[in-house]
């Protein structure tokens, strides 16, 4: 069975490689296009894990829970042997952002802090930003807003779930300069069709198409599946809008191998437990119904 949805991604890679404009950026030379979108079905438990090279669902799960729990220090990722944020939390990188007062490993008020305690004052990681955020319906600690709790409240309410204002944003201009890395996947909107079917549209300002994009697709698709389970809805679709889509020079040599591969069908999942709080979901709650079948991995260097 042809996987037309993964072909969208492969076509994006081809477009960047053939028409992308070389640009010198803060962390290297990229081939870049501006403005793109792709759509992925989530029906019947489908989860779009790219198959033309092996992608870690486990890494995507634990990074997503890191955000959902409002955590900001990489030690919480290290507990599950996840190291994708290590390059952005070294002493050298933090100093390059003038965050001299942050201990190594601290990322500042990035995604999870904004999702669970939007605009709460953050100085050096001592404000509770590394702990689980159980969150009320509207407010977080120190006056911050628990946006994710607000999203859940609206999705659970048969009247409020038709709102066009169910938004989750990580882009906080007030605190961009105290984040180790300003958010790339910066805002998503949730939409419920026919009072039942949940979709998510993500806007991503900047996308490392080789390393970042596959995990971003899994992450927001899985977030949609989790919210659907948690709010008694049915996951329907993930729509991905991209501003700056780029491929680093370091990645160009190995892309051809991936483009020659024929995609397999996407796997399907079931979330077998409905937890009391959104941050309580565990990796063991997710069962693969149709297995993840993929081509071998391809080595790409992480560019911080």
Known catalytic residue at 188:
no
Q: Which of 30, 184, 200, 213 is catalytic?
A: 184
- Collapsed DSSP state (helix, strand, coil) of residue 167: strand
Q: Which of 200, 264, 260, 255 is nearest to 228 (CA)?
A: 200
Following DSSP, what letter does each residue of 13-46 receive, concatenated? HHHHHHHPEEEEETTEEEEEEEEEEEEEE-GGGB
Burial class of residue 272 in the structure, from the number of CB atoms within 10 Å of its CB (0-12 exposed, 13-18 middle, 19+ buried)? exposed
Q: Where are the alpha helices (DSSP H) in the chain?
A: 4-19, 57-68, 75-78, 91-96, 111-117, 147-156, 212-230, 249-259
Residue pair 247/34 in contact by the 8 Å Cβ criterion = no
User: Who's near 297: CB < 8 A, 6+ residues apart?
Assistant: 53, 54
Residue pair 239/260 in contact by the 8 Å Cβ criterion = no
SS (H, E, C) 234-286: EEEEEEEEEEEEEEEHHHHHHHHHHHCCCCCCCCEEEECCCCCCHHHCCHHHE
Q: Measuring CA to CA, how many Å separate 281 from each of 26, 125, 148, 270, 278? A: 37, 24, 15, 13, 6
Cα(178)–Cα(83) distance, integer angstroms: 21
Q: Which residues are catalytic?
A: 184
């Amino acid at each position: 069975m042809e996987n037309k949805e993964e072909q969208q991604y492969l076509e994006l890679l081809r477009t960047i490689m053939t028409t992308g404009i070389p640009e010198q950026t803060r962390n290297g030379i990229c081939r870049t296009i501006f403005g793109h979108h792709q759509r992925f079905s989530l029906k019947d438990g489908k989860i779009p894990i790219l198959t033309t090279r092996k992608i870690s669902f486990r890494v995507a799960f634990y990074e997503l829970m890191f955000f959902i729990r409002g955590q900001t220090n990489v030690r919480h990722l290290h507990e599950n042997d996840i190291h994708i944020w290590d390059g952005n939390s070294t002493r050298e990188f933090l100093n390059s952002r003038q965050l001299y007062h942050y201990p190594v490993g601290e990322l500042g008020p990035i995604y999870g802090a904004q999702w669970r305690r939007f605009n709460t004052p953050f100085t050096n990681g001592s404000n509770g930003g590394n702990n689980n955020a159980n969150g009320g319906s509207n407010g977080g600690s120190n006056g911050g807003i628990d946006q994710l709790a607000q999203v859940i409240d609206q999705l659970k309410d048969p009247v409020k779930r038709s709102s066009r204002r169910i938004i989750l944003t990580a882009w906080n201009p007030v605190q961009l300069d105290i984040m180790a890395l300003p958010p790339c996947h910066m805002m998503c909107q949730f939409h419920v069709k026919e009072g039942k079917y949940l979709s998510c549209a993500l806007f991503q300002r900047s996308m490392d198409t080789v390393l970042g994009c596959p995990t971003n697709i899994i992450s927001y698709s899985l977030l949609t599946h989790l919210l659907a389970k948690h709010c008694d809805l049915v996951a329907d679709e993930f729509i991905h809008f991209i501003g700056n889509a780029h491929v680093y020079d370091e990645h160009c040599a190995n892309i051809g191998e991936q483009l020659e591969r024929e995609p397999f069908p996407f796997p399907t999942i079931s979330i077998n437990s409905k937890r009391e709080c959104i941050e309580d979901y565990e990796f063991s709650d997710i069962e693969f119904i149709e297995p993840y079948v993929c081509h071998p991995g391809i080595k790409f260097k992480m560019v911080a």
